[in-house]
């Protein structure tokens, strides 16, 4: 392991109960001060106790932690907010189709030295992260290309070195290097048609993740609190809070309809926040709902979604009348 750098003092052990408000006696490492790579603290964030414990286990015991859940549940944000409170530097890498093995490992580049072109090895994301206190997060882990995934596999072994074949050297991880990932599926591919581009993960690689945690949508009161904190202008009056509560109820109806197979698109907490922001702009909940969510949905399903809206908000949407007229 790499020795402690004088620029990065060793973390101190603090109470998870005091720092995160969870009922557990776990002591977690926390760096004395934040650096430029530490995420900003979101005071309105609500922590899921089980997922928080899983992430804290990753930071405390150097476990490899994979967070799985539907879109909009806040998987990456959850890791970021834990890291923010631990003053732990963090780097997120999205494993989309544009990320190549060379981006992760490194590649030779041509530079000008003393007026002459020369070849210099430029380290990729993984070698750069490994040699310092850093939480490396692979987002959309189940969308990674096979060649990229095999570059990651050796990294999943605790304290395992990372080989740079072109450099004939092995990089040993810093003792405060941590590895996380987020995924919409658990490596089974696009079985339900929701997440085009995801891959079936190699089971030998999936088995290397020490902890796999599932993150669901927030409890109703927590989601209301987050929306109110994000859009305080809407939450200033009792009627505004009642509107936010109704918006969350509409979102939960879309989630129930999605689970039952009635609709193919659901409202995430992110969508509810966007709806609230658009209400502040357009001063019309129905118009804001249309621009925030309905226009993203299949036309054949808009009548069902308008029924959800009417059931909670006690007002009709134009989509209801349009489809009724078409059917007569």
Q: Interior CA angle at 166 toward 162 and 168, to 5°?
A: 65
Question: In the predicted model, what is the mean pLDDT of residues 300-321?
Answer: 87
Binning pLDDT at 50, 70 and 90, where does residue 201 land? Answer: low
Residue 162, strand partner residues: 171
CA distances from 72 to 29, 30, 85, 212 (A): 28, 28, 22, 18
Q: In this structure, are residues 138 and 182 in contact, taking their beta carbons and an 8 Å threshold?
A: yes
* pLDDT for the residue 290: 94
- Shortest CA distance to 16 belongs to which of 67, 65, 50? 50
Instruction: Give 218 or 185, the one with higher predicted confidence.
Output: 218
Give the C-alpha separation, 277 to 240, whole Å.
12
Q: Please report the pLDDT score of residue 5 as a whole number.
A: 47
Mean pLDDT of the chain: 84
Neighbour count for residue 270 (Cβ, 10 Å): 14
pLDDT range class, residue 319, cuts 50, 70, 90 = low
Question: In degrees, to the nearest 5, what angle opens at C-alpha 42 toward C-alphas 16 and 127?
Answer: 75
Residue 276, pLDDT score: 96
Tokens 């590895």 locate to 179
> For the whole model, what pTM was predicted?
0.79
The pLDDT, as a whole number, for residue 151 is 77
106, pLDDT greater than 50 = yes
* pLDDT reading at 206 higher than 90: no
Say which range, 132-141, 201-210, 219-228, has the weakest mean pLDDT: 201-210
Mean pLDDT, range 303-326, rounded to an integer? 78
For residues 211-218, average pLDDT: 89
Taking only the tens place, the pLDDT of each residue in 120-178 is 667 788 889 998 999 999 998 887 777 777 778 777 776 667 777 666 677 888 999 99
């Amino acid at each position: 392991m790499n020795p402690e750098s004088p620029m990065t003092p060793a973390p101190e052990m603090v109470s998870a109960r005091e720092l995160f408000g969870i009922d557990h006696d776990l002591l977690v490492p926390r760096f004395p001060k934040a650096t430029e790579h530490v995420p900003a603290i979101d005071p309105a964030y609500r922590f899921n106790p089980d997922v928080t414990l899983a992430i804290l286990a990753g930071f405390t015991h150097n476990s490899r932690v994979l967070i799985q859940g539907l879109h909009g549940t806040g998987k990456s944000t959850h890791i970021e907010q834990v890291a923010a409170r631990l003053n732990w530097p963090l780097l997120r890498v999205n494993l989309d189709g544009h990320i190549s093995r060379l981006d992760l490992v490194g590649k030779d580049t041509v530079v000008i030295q003393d007026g002459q072109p020369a070849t210099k090895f430029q380290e990729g994301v993984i070698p750069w992260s490994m040699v310092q206190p850093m939480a490396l997060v692979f987002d959309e882990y189940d969308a990674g290309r096979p060649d990229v995934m095999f570059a990651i596999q050796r990294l999943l072994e605790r304290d395992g070195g990372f080989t740079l074949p072109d450099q004939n050297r092995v990089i040993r991880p810093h003792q405060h290097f941590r590895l996380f990932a987020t995924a919409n599926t658990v490596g089974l591919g696009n079985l339900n048609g929701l997440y085009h581009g995801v891959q079936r993960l190699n089971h030998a690689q999936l088995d290397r993740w020490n902890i796999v945690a599932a993150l669901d949508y927030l409890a109703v009161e927590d989601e209301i609190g987050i929306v109110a904190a994000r859009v305080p202008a809407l939450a200033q009056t009792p009627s505004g809070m009642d509107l936010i509560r109704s918006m969350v109820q509409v979102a939960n109806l879309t989630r129930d309809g999605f689970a039952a197979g009635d609709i193919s698109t659901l409202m995430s907490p992110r969508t509810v926040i966007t709806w609230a922001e658009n209400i502040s702009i357009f001063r019309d909940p129905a118009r804001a709902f249309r621009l925030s969510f309905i226009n993203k949905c299949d036309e054949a399903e808009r009548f069902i979604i308008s029924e959800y809206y009417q059931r909670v908000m006690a007002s009709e949407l134009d989509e209801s009348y349009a489809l009724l007229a078409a059917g007569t």
